[in-house]
A and B are shown apart, each in its own frame.
Chain A
Amino acid sequence: MVADFTRIYPTEAGSEARLIDDLSAFLAQHRIDAQIGHHLTLCVSEAFTNAMIHGNKWDRTKSVSVHLSVNDAEVCADITDQGTGGLTSIARRPRPGLLAESGRGVDFMYRYCAGVEFAEVEGGGLRVSLRVPRSRTKHVVK
């Protein structure tokens, strides 16, 4: 089974809430485990806000595209901005201090996703691809 979802959101503060509403509906429709869904929602929201802030730099004429897909094994999300890349700044991002007010989003992605990829797309934007398994990993205690 494969299902897809693509939406384009304007660069404005209210878009994040609309994205999370749409994502929650998509995850519920496909009966994704609540904890996995929660972690994916967190990571997609992080990529999305980074796209608006660092990618599109709050330029309201630019948008963020979100593509979701689900199959029997995993849920995938691609979040693409219309900025000017950003691979270098991601690679060089400083580790956030304990009292930092930002900078934790990418760490959440690496913690909760089985796959995280950043790629510069044709035309200049940055695409973040996230992948999480549909079922929780079973830990065998020996």
Chain B
Amino acid sequence: MEISVKEKGGVTVLTLNGRLDLASGTTLKEQVKAQLKKGNTMIHLNLAQVDFINSSGLGALVSIMKEVRLQKGRFTLSNLATYVQEIFEITQLSHIFEIFATEEEALSSFHTAVAR
């Protein structure tokens, strides 16, 4: 799993490439925690290049969501592949996470929220 991190308009965007499983989920959690430590609590994950996720990967995302909420931040996801979307739906996690079709839509939602 490759993870690239960029800052876009106050939002920390992590772009993932590869499989989100036990090992990569742990790496992802560590990277997000490092961002939270720096005070970056607006986090977006672009999952366009994630072609596999299992319960360990889902667990990592749930853990991140809880951690971000604890820090009073916001955590969004975008660009879920069909298979990944299916996993979110059958576990009903699609009702819990803020999921957007595109990264642009997700980032724009952060700005809308700030403007309110």
**Interface, chain A (partner B; CB < 8 A):** 13-14, 16-17, 20, 35, 38, 41-42, 45-46, 49, 98-105, 108, 111
- Neighbour of A20 across the interface among B21, B87, B93, CB < 8 A: B21
Question: Contact: B19 with A101, CB < 8 Å?
Answer: no
Is B66 part of the contact surface with A, judged by Cβ < 8 Å?
yes
Interfacial chain B residues near A38, Cβ < 8 Å: 52, 83
- Neighbour of B54 across the interface among A35, A49, A98, A103, CB < 8 A: A49
Question: Contact: A17 with B90, CB < 8 Å?
Answer: no
Secondary structure dominating the interface of B: helix
Report the bound CA distance from A49 to B93 in whole Å.
21
The total of chain B residues at the interface (CB under 8 A) is: 24
Question: Contact: A101 with B62, CB < 8 Å?
Answer: yes
**Interface, chain B (partner A; CB < 8 A):** 19, 21-24, 26, 52, 54-56, 58-60, 62-63, 66, 83, 87, 90-93, 95-96
Interfacial chain B residues near A103, Cβ < 8 Å: 55
